[in-house]
């Protein structure tokens, strides 16, 4: 019950982590099944339909339900601490964001047991995702599930924007903010601008499928290419929503374990903003083969290549952060070290893809599959692993085992390169992506086998990580405040795990890397910016949970509103939108409750604070 | 401009070396890395240039990384605090400008080739115009100047520009012959895509569908057969004046007419919008695009055997395709074999 009603950012972070971990596991299992099917030519392990459902769900799950929540987990766990705040700006909304994400994700995955998962690829290109060619409810689960989950992301993004703008500790100007906070800030801004696009797209596709609208139906005057534009105007910035937090994490981990401040901090900030900006300008590079014409292709080619410049700045700044430092290869830093070359490889193939005439060959082949896995797994997942190992003691008060952590790293990264490096060549040798099997004698066999073996090795790495988490959770919570000894930012100045109110007294920030600055000045902790006083805390509430349940029910009701059921009561309930109305009633009722009954929260009194 | 040219010149030897290395990859009739025509060649040129630049970048990053990891690894009882360097304006400008130059080196030829690829030869009197239509899961080729339509095997004369006009009857597909040219999507009517390629050498090239189009997306293959000008003219002539062939057995002929020709076209019949034309099917490279009619190869089989495999259970060959099972249409096994034999013998000279 405590977990369902909590509005504490640290607990919500843990909820995000478990939920994200769960979906990540599902997505990983789907990946393993995909790789087993492709282990040899003309394999019959899966049939074509199941395979298409698996690739669709693998992509959708990993992006929306696997890595995004883990990113949100770290942001929730760390951001208020890093900027010296006691919570996020809107704790109630924070909880709402989590529950809508979870119920959206559950709805999407219900498709596996409720008659067919979505099968039109994670990009859901029309007309294949239209009712005429995807007759099960699969794509409905996709549109409505993602809509609900996306709501949570948008809420979360806005919340972080407000938090970072308004709740920084005294003295923390924007240019003294830790890089991870900067990354979160920019990421949230991208979410704010990109998610409305996919929201609209999903509404249009839902209307096409459930209400017989014609937005993407040629016969009705619609245009399928419109979907591609809407999807990628969201979809490309989404890539940066994923990778910028990883950049932020790496920018925290490397300085800590090099005992040096981040090289070129202001150019890092500038590069992050530039990447975000350019990220919105390049969506059509996913559509070079759609036939946009040479002018559009040329413009989008060049603008895409330009992203290499700020990204290059980042890579070299990280390398020169370590230059002249004292590099310690703890597990987090091992992941950060693995990140740099791996992500760079993903980055350079990105530039190759940007060259439109070459992309005519790369597009929709395993070369692209290799490229975006290098960016998303080799960049983001390695980054997340670095962040998880780094902040685990802060989140849970327990250090993860270093030995097991190193085993995780080596099995995972070797497995990763084994899986995806060879896929570059598969693509160039003519293997298109999303094929459920391939004919023999095309020289694809050996490389596919290697790729599958690699995937298993990655799975082993994941299992070692889970074992590590399990074993760690059975040990006493005895991590010190600054477990890595060289912590530079504010989260390392308070106990692990932090008390409910985070900071007894809001710290005064006197420069970049506030804690490090104090340490170098010979101080043990931060100088407080305020006297000890009562701390205002928000009350726990179940309303966000109820609201999300309501939306979940409404979504299901809407989806099945046209179905014939074997029992007439069910048909009556669904076909007359009664279930939909009931769900919306729960949601709007909860909102009404929230509006009518003022809850002023409660205070922790100074005596209690001193008592600890 | 001078600078780009010089940088390009320096990269040249490496490009050549890489080209040799990559050329070993894959089959000649399939691999992007072994281009067989000018269009694929120009994509390949850009690839070689970009791979060269990228390998240089990677080598620099890897070596700096390896150096700092080894050189600045924290030693036992090393405890002094390293100097907290803010950054370096000069260095940061350096790694802003160098990538910018590299991008320019790549961007200029890219833009050039983009506009060259935009030349679709649709106004070229000399070009062969082919209307390509994607279907779940087969390809239709209509030669508009000759008034003939075929399926699965695209016959082209060597050296001539083939001007394509691409569209689809159902979902999106993507028309791709890796060794001849990059891919181009087939959009539903209204947004017709045009492009062209040519094949200087005779040969059979493998083509694929590159856009997810349903369960049998992976099986939506076709062949491009590049033949001499005379052979092409002969083929056109035989397509234009097809004999009205029918199975010899009148019962079988009746079955064939009522069951198969309700969807398929044959000979001089107007092309059907739902199923591939059967004219000259016995001399095609494959049955259903994926059963290779080549018994000299281990993954091939005689055309008759392939036709039998297909006709006895089309769904198991290509899941989700629109062809009904002939058995469900009331054809007996013997009749199916008879039709297969007839079709296998139905060749164009």
> What is the pLDDT at residue A562?
86
Count other C-beta atoms under 10 Å from residue A604's C-beta: 18
> What is the pLDDT at residue B23?
64
In whole angstroms, how far apart are CA A20 and each of A23, A65, A101, A247? 5, 6, 10, 20
Q: How many CB pairs under 8 A join A and B?
A: 294
Q: How confident is the model at residue B1 (pLDDT cuts 50, 70, 90)?
A: very low
> What is the pLDDT at residue B73?
93
Where residue A323 falls (left for φ over 0; alpha for ψ -120 to 50; beta otherwise) is beta
In the predicted model, what is the mean pLDDT of residues A83-112? 96
For CA atoms B266, B267, B269, B271, give the dihedral sign: positive
User: Are residues A341 and B193, on separate chains, in Cβ contact within 8 Å?
Assistant: no
pLDDT at B21 over 80: no
pLDDT at B244 over 70: no
Distance between A299 CA and the closest CA of chain B, angstroms: 8
CA atoms within 13 A on the CB side of A96: 21
User: Are residues A294 and B184, on separate chains, in Cβ contact within 8 Å?
Assistant: no
pLDDT tens for each residue of B184-242: 999 997 789 999 999 999 999 999 999 999 999 999 999 999 999 999 999 999 998 76
> What is the pLDDT at residue A104?
97
Q: Which residues of A123-139 are buried (b: 16+ CB within 10 A; e: fewer)?
A: bbbbbbbbeebbebbbb
How far apart (Å, rounded) are the C-alpha atoms in residues B164 and B171? Answer: 19
In the predicted model, what is the mean pLDDT of residues B90-117? 94
In the predicted model, what is the mean pLDDT of residues B246-272? 89
pLDDT tens for each residue of A266-317: 999 999 999 999 999 999 999 999 999 999 999 999 999 999 999 999 999 9
Compute the C-alpha angle A300/A302/A307, nearest 5°: 95
| B74 closest CB neighbour out of A302, A327, A355 | A327
pLDDT at B155 over 60: yes
% of chain B residues with pLDDT over 70: 92
| A293 closest CB neighbour out of B68, B88, B118 | B118
Q: Which two tokens stand for residue A194?
A: 């990109």
Q: Which of A163, A243, A247, A234 is nearest to A192 (CA)?
A: A234
pLDDT at B3 over 60: no
User: Are residues B206 and A297, on separate chains, in Cβ contact within 8 Å?
Assistant: no
Q: Match 């096994």 to its residue by tokens.
A: B333
Q: Which residues of A559-593 are buried (b: 16+ CB within 10 A; e: fewer)?
A: bbbeeeeeeeeeeebbbeeebbeebbebbeebeee
pLDDT at B2 over 50: no
Measured in degrees and rounded to the nearest 5, phi and psi for residue B138 equal -150, 165
Residue A47 near residue B315 (C-beta atoms within 8 A) = no
pLDDT tens for each residue of B31-78: 999 999 999 999 999 999 999 999 999 999 999 999 999 999 998 888
Q: How confident is the model at residue A10 (pLDDT cuts 50, 70, 90)?
A: very high
Where residue B130 falls (left for φ over 0; alpha for ψ -120 to 50; beta otherwise) is beta
Judge whether B20 is closer than 8 Å to chain A, CB to CB.
no
| A432 closest CB neighbour out of B25, B188, B210 | B210
| B183 closest CB neighbour out of A309, A363, A520 | A363
What residues in B contact A366, CB-CB < 8 Å?
A: none
> What is the pLDDT at residue A588?
97
How far apart (Å, rounded) are the C-alpha atoms in residues B302 and B305? Answer: 5
pLDDT tens for each residue of A142-176: 999 999 999 999 999 999 999 999 999 999 999 99
User: Which 186-245 residues of chain B touch chain A by CB within 8 A?
Assistant: 187-191, 193-194, 206, 208-218, 221
Q: What SS3 class is residue B150?
A: strand
| Confidence (pTM) | 0.94
% of chain A residues with pLDDT over 90: 93
**Average pLDDT of chain A, as a whole number:** 95
For CA atoms A322, A327, A328, A334, give the dihedral sign: positive
Compute the C-alpha angle A255/A269/A81, nearest 5°: 60
pLDDT at B10 over 80: no
% of chain A residues with pLDDT over 70: 100
User: Are residues B58 and A259, on separate chains, in Cβ contact within 8 Å?
Assistant: no
Judge whether B185 is closer than 8 Å to chain A, CB to CB.
yes
> What is the pLDDT at residue A115?
80
> What is the pLDDT at residue A414?
97
Q: Which of A279, A290, A281 is nearest to A363 (CA)?
A: A290
pLDDT at A480 over 80: yes
Residue A90 near residue A6 (C-beta atoms within 8 A) = no
């Amino acid at each position: 019950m405590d977990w369902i009603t909590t509005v504490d950012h640290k607990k919500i972070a843990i909820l995000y982590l478990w939920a994200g971990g769960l979906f990540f596991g599902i997505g990983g299992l789907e990946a393993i099944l995909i790789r087993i099917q492709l282990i040899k030519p003309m394999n019959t392990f899966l049939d074509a339909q199941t395979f298409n459902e698996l690739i669709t769900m693998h992509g959708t799950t990993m992006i929306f339900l696997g890595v995004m929540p883990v990113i949100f987990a770290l942001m929730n766990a760390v951001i208020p601490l890093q900027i010296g705040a006691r919570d996020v700006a809107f704790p109630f909304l924070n909880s709402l964001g989590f529950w809508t994400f979870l119920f959206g994700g559950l709805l999407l995955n219900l498709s596996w047991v409720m008659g067919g998962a979505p099968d039109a690829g994670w990009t859901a290109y029309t007309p294949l995702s239209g009712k005429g060619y995807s007759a099960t409810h699969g794509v409905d689960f996709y549109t409505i599930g993602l809509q609900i989950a996306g709501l949570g992301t948008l809420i979360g993004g806005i919340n972080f924007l407000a938090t970072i703008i308004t709740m920084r500790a005294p003295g923390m100007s924007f240019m003294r903010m830790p890089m991870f906070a900067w990354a979160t800030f920019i990421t949230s801004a991208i979410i704010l601008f990109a998610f409305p696009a996919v929201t609209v797209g999903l509404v249009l596709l839902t209307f096409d499928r459930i209400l017989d609208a014609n937005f993407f139906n040629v016969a009705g005057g619609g245009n399928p290419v419109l979907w591609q534009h809407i999807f990628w105007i969201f979809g490309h910035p989404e890539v940066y929503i994923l990778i910028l937090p990883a950049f932020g994490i790496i920018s925290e981990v490397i300085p800590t374990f090099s005992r040096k401040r981040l090289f070129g901090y202001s150019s890092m900030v500038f590069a992050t903003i530039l990447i975000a900006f350019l990220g919105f300008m390049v969506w059509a590079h996913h559509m070079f083969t759609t036939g946009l014409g040479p002018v559009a292709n040329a413009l989008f080619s060049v603008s895409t290549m330009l992203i290499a410049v700020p990204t290059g700045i980042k890579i070299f700044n990280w390398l020169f952060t370590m230059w002249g430092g004292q590099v310690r290869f703890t597990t987090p830093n091992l992941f950060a070290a693995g990140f740099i070359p791996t992500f760079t490889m993903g980055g350079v193939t990105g530039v190759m893809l940007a060259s439109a005439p070459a992309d005519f060959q790369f597009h929709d082949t395993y070369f692209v599959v290799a490229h975006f896995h290098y960016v998303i797994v080799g960049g983001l997942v390695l980054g997340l692993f670095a962040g998880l190992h780094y902040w685990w003691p802060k989140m849970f008060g327990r250090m993860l085992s270093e030995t097991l952590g190193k085993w995780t790293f080596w099995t995972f990264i070797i497995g990763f390169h084994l899986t995806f490096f060879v896929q570059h060549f598969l693509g160039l040798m003519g293997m298109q992506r999303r094929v459920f099997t391939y004919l023999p004698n095309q020289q694809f066999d050996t490389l596919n086998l290697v790729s599958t073996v690699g995937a298993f090795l990655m799975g082993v790495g994941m299992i070692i990580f889970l074992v590590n988490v399990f074993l760690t959770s059975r040990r006493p919570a005895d991590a010190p405040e600054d477990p890595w000894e060289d912590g530079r930012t504010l989260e390392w100045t308070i106990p692990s795990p932090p008390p409910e109110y985070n900071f007894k007294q809001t710290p005064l920030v006197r420069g970049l890397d506030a804690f490090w600055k104090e340490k170098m000045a010979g101080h043990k902790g931060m100088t407080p910016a305020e006297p000890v006083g009562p701390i205002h805390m928000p009350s726990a509430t179940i309303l966000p949970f109820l609201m999300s349940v309501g939306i979940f029910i409404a979504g299901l009701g809407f989806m099945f509103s046209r179905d014939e059921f074997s029992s007439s009561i069910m048909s009556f309930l669904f076909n007359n939108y009664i279930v939909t109305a009931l769900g919306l009633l729960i949601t709007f009722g909860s909102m009404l409750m929230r509006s009518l009954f003022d809850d002023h929260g409660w205070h922790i009194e100074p005596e209690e604070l001193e008592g600890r | 401009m001078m600078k780009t040219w010089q940088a390009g010149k320096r990269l040249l030897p490496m490009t050549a070396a890489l080209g040799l290395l990559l050329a070993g990859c894959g089959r000649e009739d399939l691999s992007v890395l072994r281009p067989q025509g000018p269009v694929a060649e120009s994509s390949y040129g850009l690839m070689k240039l970009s791979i060269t630049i990228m390998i240089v970048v990677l080598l620099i990053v890897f070596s700096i990384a390896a150096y700092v990891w080894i050189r600045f690894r924290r030693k036992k009882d090393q405890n002094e605090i390293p100097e907290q360097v803010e950054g370096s304006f000069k260095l940061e400008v350096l790694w802003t400008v160098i990538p910018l130059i590299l991008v320019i080196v790549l961007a200029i030829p890219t833009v050039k080739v983009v506009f060259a690829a935009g030349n679709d030869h649709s106004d070229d009197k000399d070009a062969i115009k082919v209307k390509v239509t994607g279907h779940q899961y087969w390809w239709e080729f209509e030669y508009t100047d000759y008034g003939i339509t075929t399926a699965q095997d695209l016959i082209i004369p060597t050296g001539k520009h083939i001007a394509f006009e691409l569209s689809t009857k159902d979902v999106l597909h993507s028309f791709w012959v890796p060794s001849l040219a990059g891919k181009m999507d087939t959009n539903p009517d209204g947004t017709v895509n045009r492009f062209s390629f040519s094949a200087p050498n005779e040969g059979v090239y493998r083509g694929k569908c590159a856009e997810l189009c349903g369960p049998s997306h992976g099986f939506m293959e076709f062949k491009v057969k590049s033949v001499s000008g005379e052979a092409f003219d002969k083929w056109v002539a035989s397509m234009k004046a097809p004999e009205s062939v029918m199975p010899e057995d009148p019962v079988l002929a009746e079955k064939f007419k009522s069951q198969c020709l309700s969807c398929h076209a044959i000979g001089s019949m107007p092309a059907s919008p739902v199923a591939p034309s059967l004219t000259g099917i016995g001399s095609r490279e494959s049955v259903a695009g994926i059963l290779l009619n080549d018994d000299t190869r281990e993954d091939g089989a005689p055309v008759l055997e392939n036709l039998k495999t297909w006709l006895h259970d089309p769904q198991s060959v290509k899941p989700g395709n629109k062809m009904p099972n002939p058995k469900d249409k009331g054809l007996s096994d013997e009749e199916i074999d008879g039709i297969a034999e007839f079709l296998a013998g139905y060749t164009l000279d």
